Amino acid sequence: MVELYQCTRCSSPFVAHDEELITRRGGSCLECAKIEVLKSIGLPPDFLTRFPYA
């Protein structure tokens, strides 16, 4: 069943169906989880969304 959650980092609401996954991510949304992974490997948080020629 799909449920509505609130991100513990950015406080924005998001929809998810896997409660275990949300628990493993510490209650954070997908965007916040991506940012944490990028930071952990030494990349800037906007690495996936910025233009290559900017």
Which distant-in-sequence residues (6+ apart) come within 8 Å of 30 by Cβ? 14
Query: Own/partner pairs for 10-14, CB < 8 Å, 24+ apart?
Result: none
Q: Give pTM, 2 decimals.
A: 0.74
The residues, ordered by sequence, that sit 6+ positions from 53 with a Cβ below 8 Å of its Cβ are none
For residue range 41-54, list pLDDT tens digits in order.
999 998 888 877 65
Q: How do residues 16-34 score in pLDDT, each as one tens digit?
A: 988 898 899 899 999 999 9
C-alpha–C-alpha distance, residues 17 and 36, integer Å: 21
